[in-house]
Structure 1
Amino acid sequence: MDGWVGAWTGGRAAVHVGDVADFNAQFFPSGMDAAQRLRRLRQAHHYACLAVCYSPEPALLVLPGEVAPEWTDWLARELAWGQVEVHSGVAPDRTVAEALAARPALAAWIADSGHPVVGWGRNAAQGEGPELAAVRRYESKAAAHGLFTALAPGHPGITVPQQERADGRRRAARRLTARAARGRTTVLKSPYGVGGYGTVVVEPAELFAAGGGGALLRRLVRTEVLPPEGELLLEEYVDPGPAARLRDLTYDAVVGPDGTVHPVGAGVMDVAGTRYQGVTVGPGAVPRDAAETARGFALAVGERLAAEGYRGWYDVDFVTDRQRRLAPTEINLRLTGPAVAFVLRARLDRVRGPGHLVRTLDGMPLGARLAPAALHDHLERLRPRCARLGVTLLPLIPTACHEPEPVVGLALAGPDTEALDAAEALLAAANQGLAGMFEALR
């Protein structure tokens, strides 16, 4: 099988291991306390439900949290999968590697399954080597920036934001204050961070309202936006101007086992502040010129990663400036939320015919906390209403419905953005309507 699907799993059904927390944990800052670490692990365990779509066809699924069989049955029906063997609830309060070490029979069953094994990203549990070294190097937003700077001159349409490394937190506070005094907005970054953690946009008004750079940094640490220790990067804020609709773009690719880079595609991300919320991929989602510019640069990045020993999925994220140039901001050497959208699109195009647009909505708020069975019933009522719009509803993250701030992760597949917009609006209204339903019971 040609293309990225062949490079990823050889076109075969695969074992999917939901080890998001394992990948994230290797970049936790040393000053993180036990309670914060546990919160981060549990958040990652919800996101690990995306493991169901790590490749176009799962054979066996390992999840840290507990899921009901109705969830995978729904997806198997819509995506024409065969039987999926599910092992869930294996690691509610630890990493998946720790859980598998305590369950040698399950670990051996996975190893002897005869299927390729796909995880979120490379981590130390899989052994040291060039691939992990490349992950540790280029997951750093400082090292990624250096690579972007080296490659950009050969790529018209690419501009690299200026970045400086602050020597200590006090200097970072002084530099932030000085930049704010000149009216400059700054993107403040920890070198390592995932899901928006460790990155924040600091506007001058916010800094002065907080009482200056030092006071703002202390507040950002206290509210767990920034890690308590370690260096900080101050990066130029790229103003999108009228290009705001295409503010956040991503380009995904796969480095195959032989080091060949295989393009996957471009997507438009939904980012609230610095927190990724979802993506839209498929025909026309990204204008052709922007997609081609992103493709050329991202593949050049992939060639460099491959030369340093990296193998697997990666993406390059961009923001657009007022001149519609693309400014690369980070490299993710792992699977990502957009990767799931691309996998879903590939599967749907294969089993239903080409032309699907796919939109993922990783954390749609629910108006009330629901038990898993109640969430299933709620979504089942919405499924035919989406279908009347020409949209297929796919539940992706069902385990966060009973959190203090309940959410559900969904995917929508349809023929055009208008249909996806209508279905998203329908779902948002119905989710919020849950609050009124429970109010009536009081």
Structure 2
Amino acid sequence: MHIGNVGDFNAQFADGSPAVRRAGGHYACLAAFYSPDPRILVLPRQVEEFWVRELSHVLEWQDIAVYGGVAGEDGGVVEALRSRPALLERIRRSGLPVITWGRTPESERLLAGTRPTAGPRAGPGSGTGTDPEPDGLGQALSVTRRYESKAAAHRLFRTLAPAHPGIMVPAQERVTSRRRAARALAARAAAGAATVVKAEYGVGGYGTTVVTPRQVAEAGGARALVKRSVRGAVLIEEYVQGSGPLRNLTFDAVVDDGGAVHPVGVGVMDIDGTSYQGVTVGPGAVPDAPAGVAERFTAAVGRALAAEGYRGWYDVDFVMDRAGRLAPVEINLRLTGPAVAFMVQARLARLQGGRPLVRTLDRLPLGARLPAAALADHLGEVSRRCRSLGVTLLPTVVTAAFEPHPYVGVALAARAPGALDAAEAVVRSANDALGRMFMDAGVSSGPSFGAAPRRTRRPRRRRS
């Protein structure tokens, strides 16, 4: 049983921001992929039948029950479940493992007693993990809250790194005043160095900014820049220089109910600025040498988390420097965007054999706002074109197609990286064509089809 509480989880680490919760409501579509074979799906937003039908057909899901629209645009799923006692009772009596995106105090209390022990493939909602702590929350939740802190994660990285050749940990300083932040930025800018400014808590790139010497100069100096953009305590971190197709890596793993760590796999993330956009996983996506370094270090992190009581899915994100060393930058103690790619891979491997390459693209701009029927037609045509390339397309995020800046998420699966690249180009081109079609027709906006605002397209992603 999958509960899409992405917005609930994110909001606790983003000052309860309505924008973060709203975006999480769309991202909660990924709840369909918490495990390879779901039975019940609970989502904050209403989803259309075409989406569930397509996923069930391709992934051969049987008798999946979907409860969509259980929460408002900015509301929480768990809060909404309190007002739906019949659905909550079905969850509690189903006997199914309950998997959530991540732990929150509300989800732990509401779902207490509904988390049957599950194997290492289950998400962070599996297992009991509810040993009482002084705050009354539970060990796994307490560890989640502790190490979602980028400062606490950094301290753990520094403790573990000496035993791991190939790992370097960038310097980090916590500053509690604008004056100290300005001094740090000014000193690094004077030395020609970029700086990463991080909120202690943040998700998906929220609260993280890379500040270059040029930006400091254009702002009129570090003090002026800090005055405009820094609120409260922040982390000033060394920017790791590097580039290339393996710049942003991630490694996912699971701590099972007994505290053992199970590696899942490595992926190449698509990062736009500091914002996560998707990932590529599968055979050959990452060479053996950096994959091995990432796996060994991530396993060590998992053992440290397990010793403190964490149970469930987690990952460690890395950036690669110019010397090929990996710098760990954060821990995510929850299900992750890459988890979706691994779950799709696992399901297709079971159905088709082998291990396909899977690329997820979570936020592809649409050229126009599309109602459900038009979105189904658009994705159906794109899917047919991808199949002609030997690529399976699965729609993943489908509730944001009528936002002011509409977008859609997809997963692509293939046996060759070249086929993935070709299919991604097809999807992006088809989305761009929507906007051109409506602009050529003279349609600017309206209650159904409206051309989305033209935006500068970000540079083409590097091949992985």
Please point out which of 89, 104, 109 is paired with 2:85. Answer: 104
What is aligned with 2:332?
332
Matches within 5 A, 1:1-400: 15-29=1-15, 37-92=17-72, 93-125=74-106, 126-127=108-109, 128-220=137-229, 228=231, 230-241=232-243, 244-400=244-400
Paired AA for residue 36 in structure 2: P
| Distance in 2 between residues matched to 1:73 and 1:409, nearest whole Å | 17
Runs of 5+ consecutive residues of structure 1 not aligned to the other structure: 1-14, 222-227
What is aligned with 2:458?
none
Paired AA for residue 267 in structure 2: G
| Distance in 2 between residues matched to 1:320 and 1:313, nearest whole Å | 23
Q: CA deviation at 1:220?
A: 3.3
What is aligned with 1:429?
429
| Distance in 2 between residues matched to 1:25 and 1:138, nearest whole Å | 16
Paired AA for residue 79 in structure 2: E
CA displacement 1:91-120 (0-9 Å, x = unmatched): 123111110111111111111111100001
Corresponding residue pairs, total: 413
Q: CA deviation at 1:218?
A: 4.1
TM-score normalised to structure 2 length: 0.87
Which has more helix, going by share of residues? Answer: 1
CA displacement 1:208-263 (0-9 Å, x = unmatched): 10122233234436xxxxxx4x311111111114xx21000000000001111111
CA displacement 1:143-196 (0-9 Å, x = unmatched): 100000010111111111111111322211221122111111001111100011
What percentage of aligned pairs have identical amino acids?
Answer: 58
Paired AA for residue 149 in structure 2: S
- The range that moved more, 267-276 or 119-128, is 119-128
| Distance in 1 between residues matched to 2:164 and 2:173, nearest whole Å | 23
| Distance in 1 between residues matched to 2:411 and 2:14, nearest whole Å | 29
Alignment partner of 1:264: what SS? strand
Alignment partner of 2:297: what SS? helix
| Distance in 2 between residues matched to 1:420 and 1:439, nearest whole Å | 29
Alignment partner of 2:41: what SS? strand
| Distance in 1 between residues matched to 2:395 and 2:212, nearest whole Å | 36
Paired AA for residue 316 in structure 1: V
2:38, 2:64 within 8 Å by CA — same for their partners in 1? yes
Q: CA deviation at 1:296?
A: 0.3
1:394, 1:411 within 8 Å by CA — same for their partners in 2? yes
1:189, 1:233 within 8 Å by CA — same for their partners in 2? yes
2:143, 2:310 within 8 Å by CA — same for their partners in 1? yes
| Distance in 2 between residues matched to 1:163 and 1:373, nearest whole Å | 50
Q: CA deviation at 1:28?
A: 2.6
CA displacement 1:9-68 (0-9 Å, x = unmatched): xxxxxx000001111122233xx7xxxx22221111000100000111110000001100
1:55/1:322 Cα in 2 relative to 1: closer, same or farther (>3 Å)? same
TM-score normalised to structure 1 length: 0.92
Alignment partner of 1:58: what SS? coil
1:21, 1:44 within 8 Å by CA — same for their partners in 2? yes
What is aligned with 1:6?
none
Alignment partner of 2:245: what SS? helix
Runs of 5+ consecutive residues of structure 2 not aligned to the other structure: 110-136, 443-464
What is aligned with 2:447?
none
What is aligned with 1:225?
none
Q: CA RMSD in A?
A: 1.1
Paired AA for residue 73 in structure 1: R
1:169, 1:232 within 8 Å by CA — same for their partners in 2? no
Q: CA deviation at 1:363?
A: 0.3
